[in-house]
Amino acid sequence: MYSFDIERPTRLADAVKLLSDASEAQALGGGQTLIPTLKQRLAMPEKLVSLGAVDEIKGICTADDGALCIGGGTTHADVAAGAGAYPALASLAGNIGDPAVRNRGTIGGSLANNDPSACYPAAVLASGATVVTSSREIAADDFFDGLFATTLNEGEIITEVKFPVPEKASYAKFEQPASRFALVGIFVAKYADGVRVAVTGASEEGVFRWSEAEAALSSDFSAGALDGLSLAGDGMISDLHGSGDYRAHLVGVMTKRAVAAAG
């Protein structure tokens, strides 16, 4: 790793200030992706601002409108244990990485990184969640901006994610055999006003909504409603672990399984 200073503020306001004061400062969530990146010397911050001691962005609660609110600094393990009001989300969190990763990695860190194979982006997009930051609120549909890119500004910290709780939902992940990240992951969420389907792992553009599936499922929430629907392999990630065509095929299979599991 390159040399850098590390700060460990306990208040959000201090974290925001530290990030804005230094030109090459970077926020450190759980570090489960950032630290390996630093080891490869693929990033060169002057200062890391650890959010690990900022208690005000941790925790889970229910808003007045029924949305499940998860602090940006909440670990995957805490979401798995505490998001019982949204079982599909808790289940997703409980299958990210491995137990030790789940004890460190945070929802805010995962979303800010927007790995194209990460699980959380699918949940956020399929739930039509709202990403709350240190300066504003961003709708899920406006948050993700391609591979490893979001509409977050420099120094902006994810403080909370507000998930409207659906009537039914499920996440179906098909794991890449080595990394165990999603080769394809499908989050299906059924709300009173329609069904949202988000796909992670598959597209060269990152997480996306499968609108044809949403339309079909909105009128008939059953696996059979997806018969005949398929995605093209063009634009899908193609690598050692699977061609674009294979990923496109898996999207169909795993979407059906997600719908079946959602009941």
Span near another protein by CB under 8 A; candidates 140-148, 213-221, 223-231, 234-242: 234-242
The piece of 65-73, 198-206, 210-218, 235-243 that touches another protein (CB under 8 A) is 235-243
Q: Which of 73, 97, 108, 128 binds another protein (CB under 8 A)?
A: 97
Using rule CB under 8 A, residue 250 touches another protein: yes
171-230 positions binding another protein, by CB under 8 A: 174, 177-181, 183
Q: Which uninterrupted H or E stretch holds 36?
A: helix 34-39
Instruction: State the Cα–Cα distance between residues 55 and 238, nearest whole angstrom.
Output: 41
Counting Cβ atoms within 10 Å, is residue 17 exposed (0-12), middle (13-18) or buried (19+)?
A: middle
CB of 262 to another protein, least distance (A): 18
Nearer to another protein, 6 or 63 (CB): 6
Contact set for another protein, span 137-176 (CB under 8 A):
174
Nearer to another protein, 51 or 262 (CB): 51
84 binds another protein (CB under 8 A): no
Question: How many C-beta atoms lie closer than 10 Å to residue 242's C-beta?
Answer: 21
- Between residues 168 and 249, which has the closer beta carbon with respect to another protein? 249
Rounded CA gap, 23 and 226, in Å? Answer: 49
**Calpha distance 90→58 (Å, rounded):** 16
Phi/psi at 151 (5° precision): -90, 10
In 3D space, the residue among 87, 239, 253 whose CA is nearest the CA of residue 174 turns out to be: 253
Residue 66, burial from CB neighbour count under 10 angstroms (0-12, 13-18, 19+): exposed
Q: Does 99 bind another protein (CB under 8 A)?
A: yes
Binding-site member from 14, 87, 103, 223 for another protein (CB under 8 A)? 103
Q: In this structure, are residues 237 and 152 in contact, taking their beta carbons and an 8 Å threshold?
A: no
Q: Which residues between 36 and 55 bind another protein (CB under 8 A)?
A: 36, 38-41, 47-48, 50, 52
Q: Which span sits near another protein by CB under 8 A: 1-9, 16-24, 135-143, 211-219?
A: 1-9
The number of C-alpha atoms within 13 Å of 100 and in the hemisphere containing its C-beta is: 1
Helix (H) or strand (E) holding 175: strand 168-175
**Binding stretches for another protein (CB under 8 A):** 1-6, 8, 28, 31-32, 35-36, 38-41, 47-48, 50, 52, 77, 97-101, 103-104, 174, 177-181, 183, 239-243, 246, 249-250, 253
